[in-house]
Amino acid sequence: MIESMPENTQKTKQKRDFKDASYGQFARIGKALSSPKRLELLDLLCQAARTVEVLAAETRMSVANTSQHLQVLQAARLVETTKNGRFVVYRLADALVCNFFRSFRLLAEDRLAELEQLRRRFFDDSQALDPVDRDTLLQRVQQGKVIVIDVRPTTEYLTAHIPTALPIPLQQLEQRLSELPRNKEIVAYCRGPYCVLAKEAVELLRAHGLRAKRLGDSVQDWHAHGLPIATGAEPIRKQPGTRRA
Q: Residue 12 pLDDT more than 60?
A: yes
Q: Residue 214 pLDDT more than 60?
A: yes
Q: State residue 244's pLDDT score.
A: 43
Q: Pick the catalytic residue: 46, 98, 190, 195?
A: 190
pLDDT bucket at 149, cuts 50 / 70 / 90: very high
Q: Residue 185 pLDDT more than 50?
A: yes
Q: Where are the alpha helices (DSSP H) in the chain?
A: 7-32, 36-47, 52-59, 63-75, 95-111, 113-122, 126-129, 134-142, 154-159, 170-173, 197-207, 219-224
- What percent of the chain clears pLDDT 70, i.e. is strictly above it? 91
Half-sphere exposure of 184 (CA within 13 A, CB side): 22
Q: Residue 5 pLDDT more than 70?
A: no
pLDDT bucket at 184, cuts 50 / 70 / 90: very high
Q: Which of 84, 82, 52 is nearest to 67 (CA)?
A: 52
238 versus 110: the higher-pLDDT residue is 110
pLDDT tens digits along 13-54: 999 999 999 999 999 999 999 999 999 999 999 999 999 999
- What percent of the chain clears pLDDT 90, i.e. is strictly above it? 71
User: What is the secondary structure of 90-108 as a DSSP string?
Assistant: EEES-HHHHHHHHHHHHHH
Q: Residue 79 pLDDT more than 60?
A: yes
Q: How far is CA 165 from CA 47, 52, 73, 231, in A?
A: 16, 28, 32, 11
How high does pLDDT run on average in the chain? 89
18 versus 133: the higher-pLDDT residue is 18
Average pLDDT of span 126-150: 76
Q: Which of 123-127, 136-140, 228-232 has the highest mean pLDDT?
A: 228-232
* Domains detected in the chain: 7-98 (1.10.10.10), 125-224 (3.40.250.10)
Q: Does the active-site annotation cover 46?
A: no
CA distance 95 to 33: 17
pLDDT bucket at 129, cuts 50 / 70 / 90: very low
Q: Residue 126 pLDDT more than 90?
A: no
Residue 33 has what DSSP assignment? T
